[in-house]
Chain A
Amino acid sequence: MGYVAVKGGIQAIEESIKRLKYERLKKGTVLKFQQIEGGMRCLIDQVMSESSLYSETLAAMAIKQAEGSPEEAVFLLRAYRSTLPRKHYSRTVQSEDMSVERRISSSFKEIPGGQILGTANDYTHRLIDFDLNEETEHDALEWLREYALERGVDNDQADLSNLPKTLDYLREEGLIPTFEINSDEPDDVTKESLHFPTSRSQRLQILTRGQTGAVTSLGYAALRSYGALHPTVGELRIGKLPIYVDSPFQDQKEDEDAYYIGEIKVTEVETLFPAEVQKGNGEKEIEFEIGYGICYGQNETKAIAMSILDRCLETANPEYPTHNEEFVLLHIDSVESTGFISHLKLPHYVTFQSKLDSVRKTKK
């Protein structure tokens, strides 16, 4: 049986797309993307993180067009991103420069600068607030006005733009291995396709843009049974990182001469894993290893799960799939995984017919 070229379906496709618009508009509600940007903070953070493109406004537009589907919104943003030129690379950002809005540690009670709860769902009852049904813009503005009038603390000298890293004092005690600053240029998975074994920079880039659900599930699997790890969160911090770009026309890249272009909100996590280390004299010692997680926006579960997977992939224990970089890295990207699953909906008439023929033959 040969291939048979067929055509048709144009009108059906046009009508199908019309149905998509109908479903989006049928209740007569037109969402302004400013409303999405204002009220869907966490969804916007998730979409920006998974699409690896930081723009709250673009994310809000994509969410509107995708009717709230994160996978479709991420697809739209990745597609749009591919049409834009990459004009610059930033100067290196580091979390010590973060303007912190939340910072906790589950390893130490007393940490320099204190446990700052900031904004979090963790301490809520998770009961649906039916009063939101009655909320009006007037109520919102009134609440904001009253909140603005509330006094902040006036006796705390902590500088949230310069908070020390919680784990630094463990480093000073020699309980965590210290590493020299490594300024090797990172690999870029958006420029070159992945080959195994991967570099650390490739692993971190893929993990940080991974689908939230996939990263969380695999991190959970590593905790529950595939490696049976139980890390402790050394520090979780959320806040804004300033972004600077060097002048493209000056050879001398002086820090003070850089352009400030804005700031991005990120979640960063360092988790501690106790590990047995063989010393030179043959004796074994227990030391802490660190797992590192970071992602755009406030997405704490993803950042913690990323730190677990980072540690798994560094350990690379062959017993567990969660420690296998091919298994983890090739399956957590939103566009790749949803795209491949979705392709199953495309016509497979010829291949299926061939399989059907085979089945018929075996039945004879």
Chain B
Amino acid sequence: MIRKRRTMILIKGSSDVPAKLAQEIQDSYEVKTIEESNNGLVMIKAREKAKQSLFYLGEVLITECKVMINGFLGIGMVQGHQPELAHNLAVIDAAYNASLAETDAWTKVLLIEENRINEENQTFMNKVLKTKVNFDTMNV
């Protein structure tokens, strides 16, 4: 599964999923920590609609961690102060970068979690859509 999609599932979904997947790797491989989970900033680059130009919207607090497995680097990055999750994300990223056999079975787990996230999101959207206005023309 591509990184964009899997990182979204791992961050938006239950933190139990990345914890379980990372543990699976840590039980079988040597995971070398390159950079302990630590805080930093990401500057957000945005495009405005009036003139289609770019500007900086502001910064976001993140936690970042780097690990290495079999010579392959993995990076974990997540918004806020979440050292454990950042570490687990880094282990999972390294596992994918190293093409470890375990990752083949993860696609199913991630798809199930993605379905759950989508269902939750649909429920949320359906509640928001209850606030949509139905205009009736008044007979004066």
By beta carbon, the residue of chain B nearest A188 is: B56
A214 within 8 A of B: no
* Closest residue on chain A to residue B73 by CB atoms: A249
Instruction: Write 21 A-B pairs (CB below 8 A) sorted by A numbering.
Output: A52-B59, A55-B61, A55-B80, A87-B40, A87-B41, A87-B64, A89-B45, A94-B49, A117-B132, A160-B125, A160-B128, A179-B51, A181-B47, A185-B54, A186-B53, A242-B8, A260-B11, A261-B78, A262-B62, A290-B49, A294-B48
Does A182 sit within 8 A of B, measured CB to CB? yes
In the complex, are the beta carbons of A260 and B46 less than 8 A apart? Answer: no
- Which residues of B (1-36) have their CB < 8 Å from a CB of A? 2-5, 7-8, 11
**Structural contact, B41 and A85, CB atoms closer than 8 A:** yes
Binding stretch for chain B, among A147-155, A221-229, A328-336, A351-359:
A147-155
Known: A152-B129, A158-B132, A185-B54. A262 touches B79 (CB 8 A): yes
Closest 10 CB pairs of A and B: A152-B126, A262-B79, A87-B40, A55-B61, A292-B50, A201-B55, A52-B58, A290-B50, A260-B8, A204-B55
Q: How large is the interface on B (under 10, 10 to 19, 20 to 34, 35 or more residues)?
A: 35 or more
Query: Do B8 and A294 touch (CB < 8 A)?
Result: no
Is A54 touching B54 in the complex (CB atoms < 8 A)? no
- Interface residue ranges, A against B (CB under 8 Å): 49, 52-58, 81, 84-95, 99-102, 109-110, 114-118, 150-154, 156, 158-161, 165, 167, 179-186, 188-190, 200-202, 204-205, 208-209, 242-245, 247-249, 255-264, 266, 268, 270, 290-292, 294, 296, 310
Closest to B137 in A: A109
Taking a contact as CB atoms under 8 Å apart, the answer to whether A179 and B58 are in contact is: no
In the bound assembly, the distance between CA atoms of A292 and B50 in angstroms comes to 6
CB distance from B52 to the nearest CB of A (A): 4
Q: Which residues of B contact A186 (CB under 8 A)?
A: 45, 53-56
B52 in complex: contacting residue of A88, A181, A257, CB < 8 Å: A181
Contact of B133 with A by CB under 8 A:
yes
State the CA gap A213–B20 with chains docked (Å): 47
Contact residues of B with A, CB < 8 Å? 2-5, 7-8, 11, 39-62, 64, 73, 75, 77-81, 121, 123, 125-133, 135
Task: Report the minimum CB–CB distance from A209 to chain B (whole Å).
Answer: 6
Contacts of A189 in B (CB 8 A): 56
Known: A84-B41, A88-B42, A262-B11. 6 other contacts (CB 8 A): A56-B80, A85-B40, A102-B128, A189-B56, A243-B60, A268-B49
B137 to chain A, nearest CB (A): 10
**Cβ–Cβ < 8 Å partners of A58 in chain B:** 61
Q: Are A153 and B126 in contact (CB under 8 A)?
A: yes
Q: Are A264 and B60 in contact (CB under 8 A)?
A: yes
Q: Report the separation of the CA atoms of residues A56 and B61 in the bound assembly, to the nearest whole angstrom.
A: 10
Tell which of A90, A118, A266 touches B42, judged by Cβ atoms closer than 8 Å.
A90
Provide the residues of chain B in CB contact with A90, threshold 8 Å: 42-45, 60
Q: Return the chain A residue nearest B59 by Cβ.
A: A53
Q: With the chains together, A215 CA to B58 CA distance in Å?
A: 17
| CA–CA, A179 and B48, complex, Å | 11
Q: Which residue of B lies closest to A152 (CB)?
A: B126
| B2: contacting residue among A102, A180, A256, CB under 8 A | A256
| A156 with B44, Cβ < 8 A, contacts A54-B60, A179-B52, A182-B52 known | no
Residues of B within 8 A of A85 (CB): 40-41
| Contact between chains at A205 and B78 (CB < 8 Å) | no
Would you call B58 and A209 a contact (CB within 8 A)?
Answer: yes
Residue from A109, A204, A258 whose CB has the most chain B CB atoms within 10 Å: A204
Which residues of chain A have C-beta atoms less than 8 A from B132's C-beta? 114-117, 153, 156, 158
Closest to A123 in B: B131
Tell me the complex Cα distance, A270–B132, Å: 20
User: Could you tell me the distance in whole angstroms from the C-beta of B91 to the nearest C-beta in chain A?
Assistant: 14
